[in-house]
Structure formats: structure tokens, C-alpha cells
Structure 1
């Protein structure tokens, strides 16, 4: 079938909406009519050549839509179901079977190498050339074919346009707290960076009932929203000494720190504000960092770890987040601004300059 999809034709190029050819779903696959798709920093990294996906690549990986057709082996969804589309995983490796699909042995090949689950392609140019799929979905398209492992059935009574970002960015922040850290009531956390991922972590920390939820950023507007969503203290690191300020709030240091920025000096701040035996979790896309292993980590028994996608099982965790939202405990809609599909490059620009926390394209 002929569809519309947004592709990056070459490294760093603006996205272009083109006509493309989409094949029928195979036995384990599902045809989804996309209603909306969030824009995530990972899409910008993919556009700019920071992922493995060969060009041209059809981007988008926070899709939400309605099932139109299912393959003969699909049992998890049926036509008419509302679904969020998340990352792809094999479902049968040791890590998948242990409940950690984001650590799937085949994660990179299924999500970042450009082919579908079986190594072939469903998406092509009108001339028949293959187009790389992104995280098993390429949801900047009005229709997609995706493996059943990507799909999460969601409550049809909730506005489907809102739900796509639960498939990646929001899942990453909230899941890092609720699925990976597992904090206790009354413990403390510092969240560095209050974009969509950081704010999702803050909302999750509030759900748990953490005593101190400290938000760190350089934009007062974001910090104001962090306060509204659950931060107990906020620090503008452009104006204040973060390490000194956090030690004034909690002299011994925080139990946990999450870095969403990927910025090396910020990561070092996050490590330094931990109490002895505290945990710093990295979730932001970053580069090199130099640490003194003895003084920064070892002498106080601190832990430095990383996590993808909030260590979530999407089919379990995304419906939980929807339920928290319905109960007024997880108001992630406050971060979202809608854009029309043809405004895709404007939406990317708004995300980059920080004027919009979570752009969502309405297809």
C-alpha cells in the first residue's frame, strides 16, 4: 500500500515527507494506522547519524495508533485495538525470558540496524529501494507494519494522541525510578535535566513518596514545571553551586541521582552529590567522561550504572502508566504540545531549543 513517511535521506538532513510503499504484514506482524507519534531526542540522534540505521531511514519510535490488520500468528492484539508502539525485542533470549527485554541479546539488530524482525524490509521507496525502519516501527508515517512484540494494547477511553511518548521517553524516566531503582518511601533523589525524561522520573518519585525530589536544570521555566509535577526542591545550576546546594538540603547526600543530560560535568555532579553507597543512573545520550575511580567511586562505595527504556516490559508498564494518568497521579500531558505532520522539522527545532518538552506529531 502507498503511505506517507518522513525520512532522513542522509546524515544531518532535514526530514522529508515522501510517498512510500509498505508491504503487507507477515505472520508475526501487525498493520497499524498511526494516530500520533512523539518526537524523542533519539530521533534527532538517528537523523544525525549517531545510530546504526543505514540511510535513508524512516524515523519515529513513539507511535500510537489503531490496529487495522494482524498476521496469522498474532494473538496479542486484534483489529480495532488502540496500541502504543514501543521498542522491539526477540522474546526468546535469556534476558527477554528473565523479564528484561530492553537488554535483549538482539536489541541492536532489531531496533537500530534498519531491518524488520526477520531481517527483511517492509518499507520501500516508490521505485522499490529499501528504507530502513527505526526501532521496529518508523512511526513518522500514517501506517506502519510492526512486530507484535512492539505493540502494547491500551485503554481506548484515553486520548490516543497523548500516549505515544509512553513508548520511549516517558517510559525511560518513570521506569528508571519504578522498575530499576525501586526506591523506598522517604528516600531522596536528584534528577539532573528536566526534559520529558527527567520530569517523568520526578512524577514517578512522587508516586513512590520519596522525601526529597531535587530537580536540577538551567531553565527556570522547566524548574517551575518540575515543582508543579512533584519536585520538592529545584536548583538552577547556571546560578548556583549544585553540589553545595544539595549538601545544604541533605548533608549526607542523596540516595539516588539520575542523569538525563549525557553532559560529562553534570554526570560528575550527580556522582558527587550521592551519599556513601548511593546510586547514580545514566539514561542520557552522552560521550566521554573522565573519573577518578578511587575518589569519585570506590572510597565511598558509590555505584554508577545505566539503563535503557526504564528496564521496562512495555506490555506491563505502559498500561500501568496509563492507569496512573487516569488517577491523576502521572500528569504527563502537561509536557505535550501537538504539531501537524507537515510541521515535523519545526517540531524538532522546538524540541532542540527547549521551547517544547515533548512535541507530538498528529498524523
Structure 2
């Protein structure tokens, strides 16, 4: 997610007139989250595919990246779902017409990728935050000029994206607005519970922050038979999760029974410190929220109580494995992810973000076709 000025793209041949695909994108520039403009999408190479976007989630990471871009024009969005329209000559495992959710990019070749942990890919920065392909070439142009694109390997605040086949997971006929957040937010929350914390039935999980990530984590834990306490100042978020069996509190200062596991989605030092005090002996706290680079930790308490503190990227998940499992749970009626989603037209991103910040929307999803 570089905020450097300039294109930063490697020199390469200019596209032939008409060689790319004409699309519409939300162009972020300065303080604007997105202005709907026309753009040109590059031709698919090798294992790349063109996906016509049907829905795209709005994630806090998009807002952080927009601030880092500053005045540099770019297209964000990294929870895209849509239909495969074109395939590169070496794209495998997909067919034209497949509905897919697009997750983060990874190389598939390094040790973390081969070990099933692509969130820690050795090429993650280049593939997800450089603004172009791994070789430095751009994927998007506006007015003939390259702009920051390929965000998380997609830049899906658009009517179509260029991405690698590896990043696409088929979702069948699942509604695109439900499938889209599985690419990142829902994947992160669910994976943090299933892959990292792994609470057992009747153990108690504290989820700090009940936005899209936290709510997905809470619902997955409930589907595992785990007792769940969610802490969030927005009453509507707590009320929704209470309806499915969670206990809700507005603040970590309220009485909370000892918990065996905790998940922090806020990145706030005071929340992390308080969550550690609420853990019973040998309890575990996992962090997925990005906050200050350094926070104070009582190492003596951590040691003497046998506590475990860990970070987590993208739920430590392999999307091709976890996303189908989450879809199965949703279809079985034990993971009501559809209840977390509110939809908006693509050009209503400012309203979607404002509603999300105000607590009127839990997970905003944009629909390019509306």
C-alpha cells in the first residue's frame, strides 16, 4: 500500500488502441473516496483473468490505503465477486461464466504459500500493494495514463477487474453480495477463529469490535458451539449478534466473565491491554486490527499466566480451502452472513462509508450493476 508519488511502473510497450477493456472505476484522488470515471483494463496475460464485478465489499483497509495514496490517483477495492469473462492463455481451474470471489494475491511458489499460509507470501507487498503487477507493469489506465491499480491483486471498485486465476475461488450461485466479503473481511474473522484461536465447544470467546470482521468471527464461533461475548459501543451490532446467541456489552469496562480466547479487531492499545486481563490462565489473544506499531505489554503477567499473544493475517487462511467451508456453513443455515450485509450502488461509496462509521451498516457492499 505504498503512498509514494509517481507511477512507479516499469517501462513497457504502450497498449495498442482498443487492446484493453473499457470499464468504469471509482477513482480515488485526494480526499475523495471515489469518483466514477472511465478507464482501460489491460489485456489478460498468462494466468490472468478478467472478472465482471457484481459486488464488492468496503473494508477499513481500503480507507487506510486511500489516505496513504494521498493525491496519487488509484482504484481500490479488494473484496470483489463477479463472473469470469475472459481467460489468459495459461489460466487454469476456471471457465468463462464461473462466479468467483476474488481474494488477496499470492505467488504460490514461496515457502509460506507452499505451506498453506499465502497471507504471509514473500511477494505480498509487490502483489497486493505496489499498484501494478509483480514486474511493475500497470493493469489500469485512466485517460491513457497508468494509475495505481491491482490493489490486493484486483482493484475491484470497478465494473471489471484483471486478476490472477489463483486469486479466484468459485462460489456457485451464492448471492454476490454475500460472497464478496469472503475475499477478505469475513475470511479474516472466520479464519482467526478456526485456524488460529481454535476454541472448543463451551469455551468462551471475547470479540472486541463487532464490525464485519468481528461479526463474522462471532458467528463462526457460535456455529462451533463456543460461548461468545462481543464488545462494541454500537448497540445495533450487539443486538444482531445477540439474536444468534452471543452476549453483547458496550464496553470492556462492563462486567465480563473470564474468557478462554479473545480476538481484537480494533488495534487499540487500551482494548488489547484490557482483553489480556480478562483471559483466564493459558488463554489466547489474537490481533487482526492494525493500530500503533508499538503497545505496552505486561510481560510478567503474560509469562506467569501462560498467556498466548499472536498476530494473524487474512485469518491464516488458504482461501481455496476456507471459503468453500464457509459457504457450506452458510447454506446449512448455521452461518447467516447475509444478515451482516447492506448493499449500495457503486457510486454511493461516500454514503456507504458514512453509514458504516455511524453504525447504520455493519458490512457495506457496493453493486456496480445497480
Give the TM-score taking structure 1 as reference length.
Answer: 0.92
Bigger Cα displacement from structure 2, 296-305 vs 306-315 = 296-305
Distance 2:125 2:352 in 1: 27
Tell whether 2:25 aligns with 1:5: yes
Q: What is the CA-CA distance between 1:292 and the residue it aligns to?
A: 4.2
Tell whether 2:218 aligns with 1:202: yes
Alignment of 1:1-363 (within 5 A): 1-10=21-30, 12-49=31-68, 55-156=72-173, 158-210=174-226, 212-231=227-246, 233-237=247-251, 241-242=253-254, 245-246=255-256, 249=257, 253-363=258-368
Q: What is the CA-CA distance between 1:294 and the residue it aligns to?
A: 3.1
**Structure 2 SS opposite 1:149:** helix
**Structure 2 SS opposite 1:57:** coil
Q: What is the CA-CA distance between 1:295 and the residue it aligns to?
A: 3.8
Give yes or no for contact 1:27–1:72 (8 Å, CA) kept in 2: yes
Q: What is the CA-CA distance between 1:192 and the residue it aligns to?
A: 0.7
Q: Deviations over 1:145-164 (max 9, x none)?
A: 101121111122x2223210
Distance 2:293 2:40 in 1: 40
Distance 2:237 2:148 in 1: 37
Q: What is the CA-CA distance between 1:119 and the residue it aligns to?
A: 2.7
Distance 2:245 2:317 in 1: 22
Q: What is the CA-CA distance between 1:127 and the residue it aligns to?
A: 2.4
**Structure 2 SS opposite 1:78:** coil
- Quote the RMSD (CA, aligned, Å): 1.7
Residue 18 of structure 2 is matched in structure 1 by none
Give yes or no for contact 1:34–1:143 (8 Å, CA) kept in 2: yes
Distance 1:229 1:119 in 2: 47
Give yes or no for contact 2:191–2:314 (8 Å, CA) kept in 1: yes
Structure 2 spans left out of the alignment, 5+ residues:
1-20
Give the TM-score taking structure 2 as reference length.
Answer: 0.90
Structure 1 spans left out of the alignment, 5+ residues:
none
Distance 1:203 1:109 in 2: 33
Distance 1:20 1:297 in 2: 52
Distance 2:348 2:28 in 1: 15
Q: What is the CA-CA distance between 1:235 and the residue it aligns to?
A: 1.5
Tell me how many residue pairs correspond in the alignment: 348
Give yes or no for contact 1:202–1:226 (8 Å, CA) kept in 2: yes
Give yes or no for contact 1:344–1:361 (8 Å, CA) kept in 2: yes
